[in-house]
């Protein structure tokens, strides 16, 4: 496989994994957390613990969360030289945005998740309201909204990087270069 094909493949993987992870964050923002908000304390703690346990799996971690970081960083490295440079600002922007998302995740969301897991089996917790209050649902949700916006912006940057990358592979002729061969002036015979 040529270096251009490798760069293309890595850029596609970065875009796909970023799309998957931003979709997961957005889903928590507009569906999961609003749905859990209206539940009683036992249901909230049990459901959140169960979802947090389920999301730590190879598909999400490698195919989304860590994959987006790894493939975006690799795409940046692969576009540092030569004709990859027009794509580079979009890749760097995506990487910076996503590094912030990873920082928020490990600085805010994961510690809250871990505290909720450490509380133990909801059937044996004496004061579920206190456990839920300590989790701080409002803070967790607010920071998840931030992750949603930033990861979606990173996804958009990667989509634009793909478009720019495609232009470097096969630039479209400019209108002035098309001359009489332009679409508007071609005659099509039946």
| pLDDT band, very low/low/confident/very high, at 154 (cuts 50, 70, 90) | very high
| pLDDT band, very low/low/confident/very high, at 187 (cuts 50, 70, 90) | very low
Q: How far apart are CA 94 and CA 70, in angstroms?
A: 12
Q: What is the pLDDT of residues 18-61, one digit of tens each?
A: 999 999 999 999 999 999 999 999 999 999 999 999 998 988 88
Q: How far apart are CA 153 and CA 137, in angstroms?
A: 24
Q: How far apart are CA 44 and CA 149, in angstroms?
A: 25
Q: How far apart are CA 51 and CA 133, in angstroms?
A: 18
Q: How far apart are CA 79 and CA 99, in angstroms?
A: 18
Residue 56 dihedral angles phi and psi, to the nearest 5°: -85, 85
Q: How far apart are CA 180 and CA 4, in angstroms?
A: 32
Residues 6+ apart with CB under 8 A from 132: 41, 44, 45
- For the chain, the C-alpha Rg in angstroms (whole number) is 22
Q: Is the per-residue pLDDT at 158 higher than 70?
A: yes
Q: What is the pLDDT of residue 114?
A: 95
Q: What is the pLDDT of residue 28?
A: 96
Q: Provide the mean pLDDT of the chain.
A: 89
| pLDDT band, very low/low/confident/very high, at 107 (cuts 50, 70, 90) | very high
Under 8 Å between Cβ of 78 and 6: yes
Structure tokens given for 99: 């590094």
| pLDDT band, very low/low/confident/very high, at 183 (cuts 50, 70, 90) | very low
Under 8 Å between Cβ of 21 and 151: yes
Under 8 Å between Cβ of 122 and 49: yes
Helices in 119-136 by DSSP H: which ranges?
Answer: 128-135
Read off the pLDDT of each residue in 124-141 and give the average, rounded to a whole number: 95
Lowest mean pLDDT among 53-62, 96-105, 132-141, 171-180: 171-180
Q: How far apart are CA 92 and CA 77, in angstroms?
A: 10
Q: What is the pLDDT of residues 51-102, one digit of tens each?
A: 999 998 988 888 889 999 999 999 999 988 777 678 999 999 999 999 999 9
Under 8 Å between Cβ of 44 and 116: no
Q: What is the pLDDT of residue 178?
A: 54
Lowest mean pLDDT among 13-17, 168-172, 185-189: 185-189
| pLDDT band, very low/low/confident/very high, at 180 (cuts 50, 70, 90) | very low
């Amino acid at each position: 496989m040529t270096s251009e094909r490798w760069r293309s493949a890595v850029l596609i993987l970065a875009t796909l994994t970023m799309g998957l992870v931003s979709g997961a964050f957005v889903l928590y923002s507009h569906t999961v957390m609003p749905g859990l908000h209206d539940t009683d304390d036992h249901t909230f703690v049990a459901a959140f613990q169960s979802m947090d346990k389920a999301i730590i799996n190879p598909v999400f971690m490698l195919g989304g969360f860590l994959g987006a970081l790894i493939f975006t960083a690799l795409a940046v490295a692969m576009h540092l030289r030569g004709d990859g440079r027009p794509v580079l600002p979009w890749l760097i922007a995506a990487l910076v945005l996503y590094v912030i998302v990873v920082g928020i995740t490990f600085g805010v969301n994961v510690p809250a998740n871990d505290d909720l897991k450490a509380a133990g089996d909801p059937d044996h917790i004496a004061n579920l309201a206190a456990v839920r209050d300590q989790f701080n649902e409002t803070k967790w949700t607010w920071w998840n909204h931030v992750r949603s916006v930033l990861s979606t912006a990173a996804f958009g940057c990667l989509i634009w990087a793909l478009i720019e990358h495609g232009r470097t592979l096969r630039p479209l002729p400019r209108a002035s270069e098309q001359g009489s061969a332009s679409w508007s002036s071609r005659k099509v015979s039946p």
